[in-house]
Structure 1
Amino acid sequence: MSRPTALIADDEPLLREALARQLAQAWPELEVCALARNGREAVSLFEQHRPDVCFLDVHMPGLSGIEAARQIGARAHLVFVTAYDHYAVQAFAEGVLDYLVKPVEIERLAATVARLRERPRATPPADIGELLQRLAAQLERGEATSLRWIRAQVGQAVRLIAVDDIDYLRADAKYTRVAWRGDAGQPAEAMIVTPLKELLAQLDPRQFAQVHRAVVVNLRAVSHAVRGEHGTAELYLKDRAETLPVSRRHLHLFRTM
């Protein structure tokens, strides 16, 4: 029998490569035959390679993972990769679709692989058009509620900080430190009382990533990462002197092949 094949679609190259490495460990006989940078490329590469399984990032520019899945339909087993686990819980629970939450944990991936192995390769999934339509609607609602501004007390003034200007957020005792680009692009900081976990749930996962239990970074602000000891790293930012810790759990975000 031929080896099972898979396509991975994610607009972040580090995440694509990390999932490919994890799959090599969890499913050695699986051949990752295509890596797509966005939804449109995923559909095109699917038509070219016809893989058995598609791992699709929910959030991708242009054509989302859900929209790409609607074009692929029942011709492959679908696994969605998301920064949150509240998308289409009902659809996932029905067992027709599977999902992974970023950062992908090897135990969860192993469970997903076990389910995929049980499904006959020659038998396509059930009709999932209605479920995908529901997922698309939930995704649209989720994007509409993404955080755009943060209010912070700076001296005697209340500043409205655009989320796009934020470099990172860091838990600090009972507060969250907000580091952003202030006037003329100069680094600025403020403390707010909103917990980091609550802020993370409202941020666009295509732009912000948790790199440590106490740190969330704007990926656009990242310069590079330097590996350290014991499976950790230090994250360097553009035009900021401080560095940020990257824990072992999140190190896969900054690995290369």
Structure 2
Amino acid sequence: MTPTALIADDEPHLARALQAQLATLWPALQVVAVARNGAEAAEHIAALQPDIAFLDIQMPGLTGLEVAQGIEGRTCVVFVTAFDDFAVQAFEQQALDYVLKPVKAERLQRTVERLQQRLLQPAAADDARLAQLLQRLLPAAATATAAPQAAPTRLRWVRASVGELTHQVAVDDVLFFRADDKYTCVCTADAEHLIRTPIVELLPQLDPERFVQVHRSTVVNLDHLAGTRRDDTSRLFLRLRGHAQELPVSRAYVHLFKAM
């Protein structure tokens, strides 16, 4: 089977240069999409399920880290980064592939060789390493630019307005929160409500012992967890009491449910 890849970089000339280098070093590799930003990369990965995603770290909309966090399939991630030595050491320690900008042919050749070997092996170990790396780097990236804040007050109620009517939704009753375009969907067993507060602002206000993020766009209430299921490709899904549809877990969070 022909191996496939996606390249995501907000600088088109760098994306073209990487594609040209790959064509020389790995002629059999088919680049199925070139994304100009993180959101576009996430959409292409979900639709095309490429074997490999070369993700620039710093992109508008979603960073390469956030795109990797939301991957649900078997796509292997290679970060293309201009990060400092600390981040590079983290990649090395987790045995993940990365290439530094500007991309050098000798370094990319080693990455190609590692990828060719990795595609012949099960992805479970790589998924675990990716999860560990993202857990280390995502909070660090967020706190690096955030000002110090006082300990947050835990939410007890969520206010959702529809016209002149305002619903007071008890947080205890919430099955999950899901990002929905410019809104956040608040799902209970009885109804769904839309609020304008983004998930990234909601999460620090929720009890971390009960509410966990399982996908870039989804936070679930573990109090309502009924069970888990894996499909034929080892993707993990959650079943919640009072909700008919299963919720997918991206591989960055699969480790949270190892005992289930």
- TM-score normalised by the chain length of structure 1: 0.52
Comparing 121-130 and 106-115, the one that deviates more: 121-130
Tell me the residue number matched to 1:138.
140
Tell me the residue number matched to 1:109.
108
Contact 1:87 1:138 in 2 (8 A): no
Contact 1:73 1:129 in 2 (8 A): no
1:1-257 → structure 2 map (5 Å cutoff): 2-72=1-71, 75-121=74-120, 123-124=122-123, 125-127=126-128, 128-140=130-142
Deviation at 1:102, TM superposition (A): 0.6
One-letter identity of the residue aligned with 1:126: D
One-letter identity of the residue aligned with 2:135: Q
Note closer, same or farther for the CA distance 1:114–1:38 as it changes in structure 2 (3 Å cut). same
Note closer, same or farther for the CA distance 1:80–1:104 as it changes in structure 2 (3 Å cut). same
What value does the CA root-mean-square deviation take over the aligned residues? 2.2
CA distance in 1, matches of 2:73, 2:48: 15
CA distance in 1, matches of 2:22, 2:106: 11
One-letter identity of the residue aligned with 1:26: L
CA distance in 2, matches of 1:3, 1:116: 13
Percent identity between matched residues is 50
* Cα deviation 1:43-95 (Å, max 9, x = unaligned): 10011111000000000011000000000156211110112342533431235
Deviation at 1:30, TM superposition (A): 0.4
Note closer, same or farther for the CA distance 1:95–1:25 as it changes in structure 2 (3 Å cut). farther
Note closer, same or farther for the CA distance 1:26–1:141 as it changes in structure 2 (3 Å cut). farther
CA distance in 1, matches of 2:89, 2:72: 19
Contact 2:49 2:73 in 1 (8 A): no
Structure 2 unaligned spans of 5+: 147-260
One-letter identity of the residue aligned with 2:24: Q
Contact 1:39 1:62 in 2 (8 A): yes
One-letter identity of the residue aligned with 2:132: E
Q: How many residues align?
A: 144
CA distance in 2, matches of 1:90, 1:74: 26
Deviation at 1:121, TM superposition (A): 4.4
Note closer, same or farther for the CA distance 1:122–1:43 as it changes in structure 2 (3 Å cut). farther
What SS does the corresponding residue of 1:75 show, helix, strand or coil? coil
CA distance in 1, matches of 2:89, 2:104: 22
One-letter identity of the residue aligned with 2:67: A
Contact 1:88 1:138 in 2 (8 A): no
Contact 1:22 1:106 in 2 (8 A): yes
What SS does the corresponding residue of 2:14 show, helix, strand or coil? helix
CA distance in 2, matches of 1:73, 1:134: 19
What SS does the corresponding residue of 2:103 show, helix, strand or coil? coil
